[in-house]
Each structure stands twice: as C-alpha cells, then as structure tokens.
Amino acid sequence: MTAIVFPTWRDKIVYSPAGPQPQILLETEKSKALLAGLEPDQMIPEHPEGPAIYHFLEGKGWMIVDGERLAVGPGVTVAIPAGAKRGMQAETRLAFLAVRMA
C-alpha cells in the first residue's frame, strides 16, 4: 500500500447544514480513520460502538461519553473503550479526526 498525504486536513473536511459528512481517509477490515465536521449546534446522538480515538482539530463543543459531558477543542484527544456510548455537540464549527477500531 502506498502512503497517502493530506497536506492540510481543511481540504478534506466538509461542513454541511445537513449534518456530518465523514470523509474516510483510510479503511481496513480492523480500523477506519475519518475526518468530520459539525456546524454550530449540530449533534451526533449518543450511540454504542467499538473502541475509538477522537482528536479535535478546531472549534469548541462537547463529547458525551456514557452520559458524561467532556469539553473538547483544538488539541484535545478522547480515547473511548468498546461499548461506551458516545455522542457529540458543537458550540462552534467543530472538526475532528476519528479512528475507529474493530
């Protein structure tokens, strides 16, 4: 496999009034890496999923993990174990990199 270079994540991110439009960077049978953006006040409802790491690139908002609200912004990384319910709410435009593992 050849490496893929993304000179700036801003060229890949999509902000949409219709909600998150995840842009897949890499996908294997065991993991998926994606970039996504939320407009102000948009949400991703809480849902259970496999283990994942979220790294926030810009904006302000909240990550909700098993009912606990965690403030997120540029540079914050959240590691979530398998089965934990997670969701998100944006205060401003919020961009993040998510790596989900099987």
What CATH number is attached to the domain comprising 30?
2.60.120.10
Give me the percent of the chain exceeding a pLDDT of 90. 96
* Separation between Cα atoms, residue 69 and residue 37, nearest integer Å: 19
Is-above-0.85 flag for pTM? yes
- pLDDT value at residue 9: 94
Give the mean model confidence (pLDDT) for residues 4-21. 94
- In the predicted structure, residue 70 carries a pLDDT above the cut 90: yes
Under the banding of pLDDT at 50, 70 and 90, the label for residue 27 is very high
The verdict on residue 7 lying in a domain is: no
- pLDDT value at residue 102: 86
Give the mean model confidence (pLDDT) for residues 69-79. 98
Contact present, 57 and 95 (Cβ < 8 Å) = yes
Number of domains in the chain: 1
For 27, the domain range is 19-101
The verdict on residue 43 lying in a domain is: yes
